[in-house]
Amino acid sequence: AATGVRVPPSARGHTTARLVGPVHLGADVEVAAGAVVGPNVAVGPNCVIDRGVVLADAVVLPDTFVGGRLHLSDAVADRDRVV
């Protein structure tokens, strides 16, 4: 794994997804094609980061779906809320 990137064995990432450390993925996270996660991102367990999503300086709480080519920066996502 790249420097500062923590990915558990149960996480899955598409070959075109990019992880830019520091990044921490929780258990059973799925990162789809074209997504860019990082830097400074923590994703809780059981999350889906959909196609084309860009996350930077963000926290995604457990059981959250981030979709629709959404770009999140300096944010916290919790299921159906972004702050």
- What is the pLDDT, as a whole number, of residue 43? 98
pLDDT digit string, tens, across residues 11-61: 999 999 999 999 999 999 999 999 999 999 999 999 999 999 999 999 999
- Please give the Cα distance from 27 to 24 (Å, whole number): 10
- Please give the Cα distance from 56 to 39 (Å, whole number): 5
In this prediction, residues 55-79 reach a mean pLDDT of: 96
- Please give the Cα distance from 29 to 83 (Å, whole number): 21
- For the question of whether the overall pTM of this predicted structure is more than 0.85, the answer is yes
Cα 36 to its chain centre, rounded Å, is 8
Would the pLDDT of 2 be above 70? no
